[in-house]
Amino acid sequence: MDRNDTQGLISIWWLDGKGGGRRLSWEEAVAPPPEGFVWLHFRRMDRMKEEWLRQASGLDTSVIESLLEDQARPRCAVFTEGALLSLRGVNLYRNALPEDVVTVHLWVDTSRIVSVQHEPLSAVEDFEDALGRGRCPRTQGEFVAELATRLVERLDAVVTALTDDADELEDQVEAIQVSDLLPKLAVMRRVAIKLRRHIAPQREALNHFSLEDDAWLGPKDRNRLRDAADRVTRFSEELDSVRERAAVIRDQMVDRRAEQMNQSMLVLAVVTVVFAPLTLVSGMFGMNVGGIPGSDNGEGFWIVSLILLAIGALMFWAFKRLRWI
């Protein structure tokens, strides 16, 4: 069976440390060139035997378990031999849900980078395409900073779309039907809450990694990592704003519905008050007993009808003066 199928290997790259690089076969990766560093990229699968990671990678058991962990929170752990960094990103594939984040784990040391993802991640694929076009990082620090920047850029697109949705719903809250607006509002709140919970720890992880004092992490790389962390902080604040705006929109919808209910109840109350005395009078004259005034008068019906109309008009005029209607 192909090693790629058993080990979950996606690709191996050798980066020469001078801005160049090329793909390696598995046999070449066993004895890579002395300069630069190697990137081994895996995808975690159920049928993956993980023999190389567990037996030949030389990594600590806790590091291996962290690399194979699914849906881990973003974090950074520094070891004597290197650093473990877990990041999260969103996919911009067609039909991909924006709140479905994907975790990618990175082990970084002086000679290699070992990465493991559990689902396809567009940022990693684009990064690998850039390597194929000759845009290769020179150091491990530049590698991590570039990948973190690509992950953050995709978050920017999703958060901007959510903000635009919130603007659109605010404009439509007075015009669109509440029943049509509620599902859109619920989706927006759910996405904002889930994204906020998933990406908020990424700021601390990136800042922690930027404090690594190895030679392969330079000042420029630290600045890019801190910039990515600051952008994650801004995204978290914008997601909080989207959630708060969603709550405000919902309150406006509730107030609007309550006002509509009040208006309907007021109309019903006015109609009830107007027709109550008319019903009483007509009911009294409709009793089948003797002694009803005007029972022998041929014009009695029309007289009573005019009286009822006058009472109704008088009450309607009184309600208008009182501004009840």
Q: Is residue 78 located within the same domain as residue 144?
A: yes
State pLDDT tens for residues 39-88: 999 887 655 556 777 777 788 888 888 888 877 889 999 888 889 999 98
Q: Which amino acid is at 110?
A: T
Q: Is residue 179 located within the same domain as residue 54?
A: yes
Q: How confident is the model at residue 320 (pLDDT cuts 50, 70, 90)?
A: confident
Q: Is residue 91 located within the same domain as residue 212?
A: yes
* pLDDT score recorded for residue 47: 54
State pLDDT tens for residues 288-304: 666 677 666 767 778 77
Maximum Cα–Cα distance across the chain: 123
323 phi-psi bin (left φ>0, alpha ψ -120 to 50, beta other): left
> In a 10 Å sphere around its CB, with 0-12 CB exposed, 13-18 middle and 19+ buried, how is residue 46 labelled?
exposed
**277: CATH:** 1.20.58
**Residue bearing tokens 């027709």:** 275
* Nearest CA among 44, 229, 216 for reference residue 120: 44
Q: Is residue 17 located within the same domain as residue 162?
A: yes
Q: Is residue 235 located within the same domain as residue 90?
A: yes
Number of domains composing the chain: 2
**191: CATH:** 3.30.460.20
Q: Is residue 28 located within the same domain as residue 93?
A: yes
Q: Is residue 185 located within the same domain as residue 274?
A: no
Direct distance between the N- and C-terminal alpha carbons of the chain, in angstroms, rounded to an integer = 83
**Residue where a domain terminates, one of 228, 256, 284:** 256
Q: Is residue 288 located within the same domain as residue 210?
A: no
pLDDT at 4 over 70: no
Q: Is residue 154 located within the same domain as residue 216?
A: yes
**Residue bearing tokens 């005019």:** 306
Domain that holds residue 303: 263-321
Residues 115 and 275: their CA atoms lie apart, in Å, by 79
Q: Is residue 89 located within the same domain as residue 237?
A: yes
Residues 323 and 325: their CA atoms lie apart, in Å, by 5
State pLDDT tens for residues 138-171: 999 999 999 999 999 888 888 888 888 888 888 8
**Residue where a domain terminates, one of 256, 288, 306:** 256
Q: Which residues of 165-193 are buried (b: 16+ CB within 10 A; e: fewer)?
A: bbeebeeebeeeeeeebeebbeebbebbb
Which range, 25-29, 186-190, 290-294, is most confident? 186-190
State pLDDT tens for residues 222-260: 999 999 999 999 999 999 998 888 888 888 777 777 877
Contact (Cβ atoms closer than 8 angstroms) between residue 198 and residue 101: yes
Q: Is residue 240 located within the same domain as residue 284?
A: no
Q: Are strands 75-78 and 112-117 parallel, antiparallel or unpaired?
A: unpaired
Q: Is residue 238 located within the same domain as residue 314?
A: no
**Residue where a domain terminates, one of 256, 272, 292:** 256
* pLDDT score recorded for residue 6: 47
